[in-house]
Amino acid sequence: MSKVGQAQELRRRESQASGQQSGVFFVSRGLLSRRRVHLCLLVVIVALGTLLHYGDWLPVLADAAARTPIPLTNRQSLERILLLLPIIYASVVFGRSGGLTVLGIATAIMVPRALMGPGDLVQALLQVAGVSVTGVLFLSLVVSERRRVDDARAMTQRIIMAQEEERQRTARGLHDDTAQSLYLLSQRLDRLASGKGGQVDAEAAAELRDVRELAVRTGEELRRILWDLRPRILDDMGLLPALEWLVDEVHRYHGIRGKVEVRGPLPPLSAQAQLIIWRIAQEAMHNVVKHAEATEVGISVARGHRSLKLRVWDNGKGFDARRLMRHLPRQTKLGLLGMQERARLLGGTLTVHSEPGKGTSVSVELPLTRDYERGRSVAAAPPAP
């Protein structure tokens, strides 16, 4: 089957998948399941704190407390300080609303004990106030830090999207002006070299033909640059044909054999989501060409139960992936960081597996849900009419 036929077949399969599934959205990876786990742990921590706080009401814990050398006042202070743990945990995991909720619960646990329990009432209430104020201060610190991190990430994502818009404008301008001018120049040079525009001696005709060949090569190089800036096949035929074209270009220019594998019907993806996924694959392929010294490369796209997985692998020389990912934020090379941030734009994660002499695998997992809330993700495909 020809390349055009293969591209059309891939597009047909993609269209069939879009007809079978609709309204698929990207959300944060495993968000719901992770929140449930954190919530369960938080409930356990609060329950244990409450049990220790009122432990002298239980015979077993009361006997154990009586045998400890710690005085009652110090023990009560320690019990109240321990209730800071769920406040801190909730603030880090759930943010301001979670921290405030647990702070209120912790205060509600401590106040009755301070009012009805043994010991000095004023000292107990002061300790409760101290724990509450400490919780509020820590909550403010966590919220401020989370806001700073979120702002930095949002700025990075806006820069990435602005870069894509600028690439699109540049590609359109080059195609409409420069590429057309080169095409017309080649035509006129061909006409002059053939003698149709007047009498031209052999030496001048040979020179004109050489200039024409240079113009043609420049046009081909410009075409390649245009496709790197904004692949038309992605807009015209979709993600899978664009991935096929990417593999073919790597084989054409660098001699690295490649293939694209598709597993299962893919969900419908917005144009923005397809572009981001393609950019990740493009950067991974660029790294293969530049660093891997590979002879074979592959791209696989698979739909799982609740996720879309993209994997780019090669049989090259590999590297120490653990060391690289550990020091990734301090790396001057922005390729992996760019892929990571693009994956986050779709709420996904990037994983790199590699060992020296055993090739490299770059995997991106993008969770899916059927939530129809608009604005949940930049990659949301519009609901079916």
pLDDT one-digit tens code per residue, 226-284: 877 878 888 888 999 999 999 998 998 899 999 999 988 888 888 888 888 999 999 99
Q: Where are the domains of the chain?
A: 1-31+236-385, 32-157
| Residue pair 143/151 in contact by the 8 Å Cβ criterion | no
| Residue pair 82/127 in contact by the 8 Å Cβ criterion | no
Residue with tokens 């220019």: 253
Encoded tokens for 272: 């923005």
What pLDDT sits at residue 375? 35
- Pairwise CA distance, residues 105 & 86, whole Å: 10
- Pairwise CA distance, residues 339 & 328, whole Å: 12
Question: Is the pTM higher than 0.75?
Answer: no
Residue with tokens 């139960």: 305
What is the b/e burial string over 327-345, where b = at least 16 CB atoms within 10 angstroms of the residue's CB? eeeeeeeeebebbbbbbbb
- Pairwise CA distance, residues 281 & 250, whole Å: 12
Residue with tokens 């719901």: 32
Residue with tokens 């699109």: 168
Q: Tell me which H or E stretch contains 314.
A: strand 307-314
Q: How many C-alpha atoms does 279 have within 13 Å on its Cβ side?
A: 24
- Pairwise CA distance, residues 193 & 185, whole Å: 12
pLDDT one-digit tens code per residue, 119-164: 778 888 888 888 889 889 988 888 888 888 788 778 877 887 788 7
What is the architecture, at CATH level 2, of domain 1-31+236-385?
A: 2-Layer Sandwich (3.30)
- At 101, give phi and psi (nearest 5°): -60, -50
